[in-house]
Amino acid sequence: MKHLSSVMAVVMALVVVRIGWANFTLNCDEHLDVISPHDVGHLNHRSTATIMVGGELRQLYVRDGAEVRVLSGGKVGPGVYAGLYVDDIGSATGSATILGGEVWTLYANDYSTVNVTGGEVWRLGAKAVSVISVSGGEVTNLHTHGSSNTDISGGIIGRLASDDRSVVDISGGSLNTLDCQEFSRVTFHGYDFFTTSPARLEDDQVVGYGRLSGKWFDGSSWTVNINRNDGRIRVIPEPSTLALLTFGALGLLAYGWRRRR
């Protein structure tokens, strides 16, 4: 009996280890709270998963209306060739929300959506017609391709590289370096824009490379280093700023009209 108990203990230990690093696949409305290490996960057909403290995945695929949320303490992709892949298959849109934790690589494909509000993402890529929103957290490398749309309203971005026909709108946060090329468009929404030579402003367009500085609508100052400018970089005052300028101009006109009378 003692020998049998020892064998059973070993078998149970092996089972626990295997479960701890096993693959999983969720379908339909299934949900999983990931609180232990796994190799590969697949979320399909409106399924959901939350990666929590202790949860770790080498690779995770989110498809066809499925959704994943990464919380503080969760980890995805410890290596260059592993990470989180968000795809759209069919009419539903796969999505990922990064609230905290660490994500090594995150690729948004097809019609998928990704929201980064916290945590750390080392490499974030937007392809096809995916939609990216960054309002917090830290993204070391952000690369936009295809006809993707990216909105940056907060957080820390180390490097932004935009190409193809991707569109990027920036209204807050911190951006260190920018490479804009091909037919891509990057627009800064703020005020008090100015450039450092050899870059220069021509109307609302930044020509050449150098430094671009300004203020966000909350009054905070920012500076970005433009390393490459083969696409289109624009600066547009916020609507409220335009409204203030308009009211100011109207006030001056009214004052002049009263003086003439």
How high is the pLDDT of residue 83? Answer: 92
pTM over 0.75, yes/no: yes
Domain locations in the chain as residue ranges: 1-83, 117-261
Average pLDDT for residues 222-244, to the nearest whole number? 82
In the predicted structure, residue 98 carries a pLDDT above the cut 80? yes
19-23, 138-142, 209-213: least confidently modelled range: 19-23
81-90, 98-107, 114-123: least confidently modelled range: 81-90
Average pLDDT for residues 52-57, to the nearest whole number? 96
Q: Which residue is it, tokens 């009054």?
A: 219
How high is the pLDDT of residue 143? Answer: 98
Average pLDDT for residues 78-82, to the nearest whole number? 68
In the predicted structure, residue 173 carries a pLDDT above the cut 70? yes
How high is the pLDDT of residue 256? Answer: 53
pLDDT digits (tens, 9 = 90+) for 179-217: 999 999 999 999 999 999 899 999 999 999 999 999 999
Average pLDDT for residues 74-85, to the nearest whole number? 84
Residue 144's pLDDT band, with cuts at 50, 70 and 90, is: very high
The residue with greater pLDDT, 47 or 248, is: 47
Mean pLDDT score of the chain? 86
How high is the pLDDT of residue 246? Answer: 46
Average pLDDT for residues 70-97, to the nearest whole number? 85
Average pLDDT for residues 39-55, to the nearest whole number? 95
Residue 15's pLDDT band, with cuts at 50, 70 and 90, is: very low
The residue with greater pLDDT, 238 or 53, is: 53
Structure tokens at 249: 């101009």
How high is the pLDDT of residue 8? Answer: 43
Phi, psi of 155 (to 5 degrees): 85, -175
How high is the pLDDT of residue 81? Answer: 66
